[in-house]
Amino acid sequence: MRSKLLSLLAAAVALAGCGSGLHLLHSGNTTTIDIVAATPQAGQKLGFPSLATKNTTRVGGADPVADAAAVALAVYPSVTPETHPAAVTIAPTDNWEAALAASVLMSRPVRAPLLLSDSSGLPSATADALSALAPTGSGAAGGAQVIRVGDVPSPSGVRTASISGAGPYALAAAIDRFASAAAGRPSSDVVIASSADPAYAMPAAGWAAESGDPLLFVSSSGVPPETRQALLSHGHPNIYVLGPRSVLPRSVVQQLRAYGNVKRVDPGAADPAANSVAFAIYRDPLCASGTPCVHVPGSFGWALRSPGHGYTLLNAARPLDAAASSALSASGDYGPQLVITDASALGPVEAFFLNYATPGYTQEGPTAAVYNHGWIIGDQNAISVAVQGQTDRLLEVVPQAPQK
């Protein structure tokens, strides 16, 4: 499968660079790409700046299915025995709530990266990635190599576990039960989002993958029975509502108070981008000074108000990209998912980077500084190269004037 993927990539680049000094090297069943001195625009054809810059890396799928396959292999390269995942989750493309909720299965102890599929058959990107990942089997998931969520195909030749539910609320609750059983106990924190607008729920996927806190859903009019039952199973948890009053009205928050201690991350977020920024800086509890208590065990939220972290940039129009990229928030340089609403503008994310992410260095020099990294999810229709370049600049370490 790896040889096939490399051959397809080489063919695509060959078409783009035909007659321009681009050479294809064949060795056995593998085709590789050789960009040489005579190749016009050699740097661009090697992938710069659209694939990567010094502070960013793009997962450039034209759709979330391709992005999920690429992210899974980035997190689990699967080139040596110890780099294979124990299990892989396959989530449905026609149920964004279930896909986002399934991100919790990337948390410990299951650690299953997420792939995507419709009900008719595994897409080639998913099938090829699953073959390359070759999951070994998760003891926490009963030995399953693949965890099927909802109405997705059952791959042959692997041990599977299935999570089912009638509708998005029931399926999210079933995912929560599975994750709680794998962990040996329900979590003390739960994230609630609205099923009415996926863009506001997107940042919860990365947090679920990192923390193990499940994502459950409510409607704009109330708390569905499946969600109520799931909340009861957590034994009066801390409930964190993600989304402003315009998406989740006070009446719904009041209903949630019957099942736990409820706090809303940002009641007045103007749009999905502002909502994602609010979640990135949020922490409960706060210290006496009013700042996030970042070292308190059991605290909730990213609390990223300082540089030296990872960030994942998503387009609000592609909610499945949040599920597809959730494993990046739970591995590598970790970090929150930030949402933009316009492919050509950072919007509120720009102010977040300026206020909290730009690292500085003093007379010790840049090698003593902390560094950021940004993952750009989706092709240039989702996030433009200009926005990627702007992100690269904002994440760059800069000289800091000495304090007087």
Give residue-wise pLDDT tens across range 119-148.
999 999 999 999 999 999 999 999 999 999
Mean pLDDT of 298-320: 94
Q: Are residues 26 and 75 in the same domain?
A: no
Residue 10 zone, left/alpha/beta (φ > 0; ψ -120 to 50; rest) = alpha
| Domain of residue 24, residue span | 2-39
**CA 51/CA 269 separation, integer angstroms:** 31
Whether residue 66 sits in one domain with residue 23: no
Does residue 36 have a pLDDT over 90?
no
Lookup result for tokens 């409607």: 219
**Domain presence at residue 154:** yes
The amino acid that residue 385 corresponds to is V
Same domain (yes/no): 17, 75: no
pLDDT of residue 176: 98
Q: How many domains is the chain partitioned into structurally? A: 2
**Which alpha helices (H) appear in 118-167, and where do they start and end?**
124-133
pLDDT computed for residue 145 by the predictor = 98
Quote the longest CA-to-CA distance of the chain.
69
Is pLDDT of 29 > 60?
no
Residues 175 and 76 in one domain: yes
Mean pLDDT of the chain: 90
Q: How far apart are CA 143 and CA 151, in angstroms?
A: 21
Among 229-233, 292-296, 373-377, name the one with the lowest average pLDDT. 292-296
Domain match, 259 and 313 both: yes
Overall average pLDDT of the 319-341 stretch: 97
Q: Are residues 191 and 302 in the same domain?
A: yes
Query: What is the tens place of the pLDDT at every residue in 160-216?
Result: 999 999 999 999 999 999 999 999 999 999 999 999 999 999 999 999 999 999 999
User: Same structural domain for residues 25 and 171?
Assistant: no
Q: Where are the alpha helices (DSSP H) in 17-52?
A: 42-45
Amino acid identity for residue 322 in this structure: A
**49 is a domain residue:** no
Residue 14 exposure: Cα atoms within 13 Å on the Cβ side? 13
Residues 138 and 192 in one domain: yes
The answer to whether position 46 is within a domain reads no
Residue 277 backbone dihedrals phi, psi, to 5 degrees: -65, -45
Q: Average pLDDT for residues 25-50, to the nearest whole number?
A: 72
Q: Is the pLDDT of residue 75 over 50?
A: yes
**22 Cβ contact partners less than 8 Å away, ≥ 6 residues apart:** 13, 14, 16, 33, 34, 35, 36, 39, 45
Q: Assess whether 20 and 151 both reside in one domain.
A: no
Neighbours of 334 (CB within 10 A): 18
In a domain, 51, yes or no: no
Residue 47 lies in a domain: no
Q: What is d(CA 282, CA 242) in angstroms, rounded to the nearest whole number? A: 11
Residue 261 belongs to a domain:
yes
Residue whose entry in the numeric block shows the structure tokens 């500085």: 360
Q: Which residues of 138-164 are buried (b: 16+ CB within 10 A; e: fewer)?
A: bebbeebbbbbbbebbebeeeebbebe
Q: Is residue 48 part of a domain?
A: no
* Judgement on whether residues 220 and 126 belong to the same structural domain of the protein: yes
Q: Three-class SS of residue 48?
A: coil
Q: Are residues 366 and 331 in the same domain?
A: yes
The amino acid occupying position 325 is: S
Give residue-wise pLDDT tens across range 243-270: 999 999 999 999 999 999 999 999 999 9
Which pTM does this prediction carry? 0.89
What's the pLDDT at 196? 95
Q: Is 61 within a domain?
A: yes
- Same-domain check for residues 80 and 7: no
